[in-house]
Amino acid sequence: MRKLAFTVLCILALACSDPAVPVSTYSLQIMEVPDRANAGEQISLDFKGMGKGRPILFLRNSLGQSVLEGRDEGERLRFTLPGPYSKKSGPCHWSLVLADSVLRSGVIEIQPLAIDERIETYLGPRNVIAGPVDHTMLVTVPSDKFGNPMPDGTVLELQKQISEQYDSKEIQSGGMLAWDRIYAEEKASRAFLSVSAAGSTSKELTYDIHPALPEDFEIEYARFHPYADGNQVITFSTSTLKDTYGNIVSDGTMVSFSVIDADGKVLRTQGTTLNGVAEARMLHPDRGDTWTVTAHLAGVAGSQELEVEFLPVIRDFDLEWKADSRTVVVGPVDGFLDQFQPDGLRVTLTLFNEKGVNVMNRDAELSDGYAGFDLGNLSLSAGRYLTRVEIGGQSHEMLIELTDEDTE
């Protein structure tokens, strides 16, 4: 019994002992291991090993590490690089390992294939301003069909089309990419680019050349008559806004107009350009005036000063005091054609007492050539008053007398 237990113990002890293979007993011969290969082809490492144990292969490229088990091909132990390793260009480090020791190690330089049909390109910025300063940059990253970047010195053709002008240029890759600065032309338009190499091309790339900042411009005005009737509309317009290179500014560019009248008051209006011309409108004044008009694009460009004169619209008018209805009747008001002045013109009445003190102001609008002011129920004390009526910058005065009866 004791003997049996001892035997069992011995067997257990043997079974538990470290089965590590002494490496010195393993001899290895390299049969076929490439040190260069092309991406995507079948890459195999063949060894011939003698001895106990089975080595494994460590692989490492720039994207990862893996461990491979070999396959017996007759006498040979063959390792075939799996896709992720055989398709990736650059150094692929391998080491053949048995237990804790490295038997052999090396590097396979995997070469990228020919350039892929599609060339990867990046273009930006996509909007540039006409002229010699602003530019865009085309970056192209030529790679093979597995996405491996091409070696330095790969030649590419950069092609450009701007307003029917074709241009091409050779660029060379370096450090994974080839690039070029493309300067804007003087003419605003859309430019087209592409990159090509033997048998491969990029997609179409476009960028827009926008007009540069406009230069100073002229303004003019148009109106139907020169009279300050407070009724018609005067239209201001700019000349065609262009940059230094003659490009018409983009539609919708905002132009501000300011008007300074004879009293120094400022009026503003604005318009946006269409085909480079901006228009803005303004109502005629209701009395004779002289306007100084300027237009500007804030901080960019401006126009000359333009003088516009408005003539008084009223030739003359009559005043009449109708004592029975206690009404001041204004009219008929004749316009520049001796016509009844159109409705709506403002008529103002100012009333002074005997001491010359202004006691009342009233406004009315012209209707059918006449206007009236009823002074009956205004609680004015009886006495003599001076009335002054003004229309369109013209005024007439008249003395009236209110009796007690009138003022009740």
Partner 1 sequence: MKTRNKNIYRALLLISFLGVNAALLFGIGAVWVYMNSGADKTSILHIASETEDTYLPDTEWRNLENPGRPMESQTLQDIERDYIRSWYVRSIAFDQLDPYGLKDYYTDSLYRKLTEIIKLNKDQDTRISLSTLNHHLSLEFYSLDGKLVVFTDTGMEWFQEIRKGEQKLASGPLISSYRVMMLLEDGFWRVRHMEEIPNPSNGAVPERITGPASIGQIKGLNYYPARSPWDTFGDDFDPKTLAGDFEKVSAMGLNTLRVFIPYEDFGAATVKPEKLQKLVRLMDLADEAGLKVLVTLFDFYGNYDLADWTRTHRHAETLVGALKEHPALLGWDIKNEPDLDFKSRGRAEVMAWLEEMVRQVKKWDKVHPLTIGWSSPAAADNLHERLDFVSYHFYEDPDMFVSYHEKLQEKIGDKQVVISEIGFSSYSGIWNFFTGSEESQVDYYQKMVISLQGENLPFLSWTLYDFDQVPAEVVGRLPWRKAPQRHFGLIDNNGREKPAFGALVSSSQK
DSSP readout, 237-250? Answer: EE---BBTTSPBPP
Closer to partner 1 by Cβ: residue 47 or 317: 47
Q: Is 206 in the site for partner 1 (CB under 8 A)?
A: no
Size of the site for partner 1 (CB under 8 A): 36
Which of 122, 233, 343, 376 binds partner 1 (CB under 8 A)? It is: 122
Q: Are 47 and 31 in contact (CB under 8 A)?
A: yes
Binders in 94-113 for partner 1, by CB under 8 A: 97, 100
Binders in 131-150 for partner 1, by CB under 8 A: 135-137, 139, 141, 147, 149
Closer to partner 1 by Cβ: residue 86 or 237: 86
Q: What is the DSSP letter of 180?
A: E
Q: Is 66 in the site for partner 1 (CB under 8 A)?
A: yes
Closer to partner 1 by Cβ: residue 11 or 176: 176
Least distance in angstroms from the C-beta of 60 to partner 1: 8
Q: Are 374 and 327 in contact (CB under 8 A)?
A: yes
Closer to partner 1 by Cβ: residue 61 or 253: 61
Q: What is the dihedral of CA 69, 72, 73, 74, to 10 degrees?
A: 160
Q: Are 245 and 187 in contact (CB under 8 A)?
A: yes
Backbone angles phi, psi at 11, to 5 degrees: -65, -45
Instruction: Give the Cα separation of 355 and 159 in Å (integer).
Output: 91
Which of 7, 25, 29, 62 binds partner 1 (CB under 8 A)? It is: 62
- Among 92, 97, 96, 95, CA closest to 108: 92
Instruction: Give the Cα separation of 171 and 182 in Å (integer).
Output: 12
Closer to partner 1 by Cβ: residue 118 or 281: 118
Closer to partner 1 by Cβ: residue 61 or 247: 61
Least distance in angstroms from the C-beta of 130 to partner 1: 17
Q: Is 175 in the site for partner 1 (CB under 8 A)?
A: yes
Write the single-letter amino acid at 212: A
Q: Is 160 in the site for partner 1 (CB under 8 A)?
A: no
- Among 262, 225, 229, CA closest to 392: 229
User: CA angle, corner 392, sides to 391 and 395, nearest 5?
Assistant: 45
Segment contacting partner 1 by CB under 8 A, of 42-50, 79-87, 210-218, 309-317: 79-87
Which of 31, 113, 177, 267 binds partner 1 (CB under 8 A)? It is: 177
- Among 156, 137, 145, 49, CA closest to 98: 49
Closer to partner 1 by Cβ: residue 97 or 248: 97
| Token pair for 349 | 């009445």
Segment contacting partner 1 by CB under 8 A, of 25-33, 83-91, 216-224, 310-318: 83-91
Q: Are 279 and 235 in contact (CB under 8 A)?
A: yes
Least distance in angstroms from the C-beta of 274 to partner 1: 32
Write the single-letter amino acid at 356: G
- Among 325, 311, 330, 324, CA closest to 388: 330
Q: Is 58 in the site for partner 1 (CB under 8 A)?
A: yes
Least distance in angstroms from the C-beta of 31 to partner 1: 24
Instruction: Give the Cα separation of 98 and 121 in Å (integer).
Output: 46
Which of 21, 33, 56, 114 binds partner 1 (CB under 8 A)? It is: 56
Interaction site with partner 1 (CB under 8 A): 56, 58, 61-69, 82-85, 88-91, 97, 100, 122, 124-125, 135-137, 139, 141, 147, 149, 175-177, 179, 181
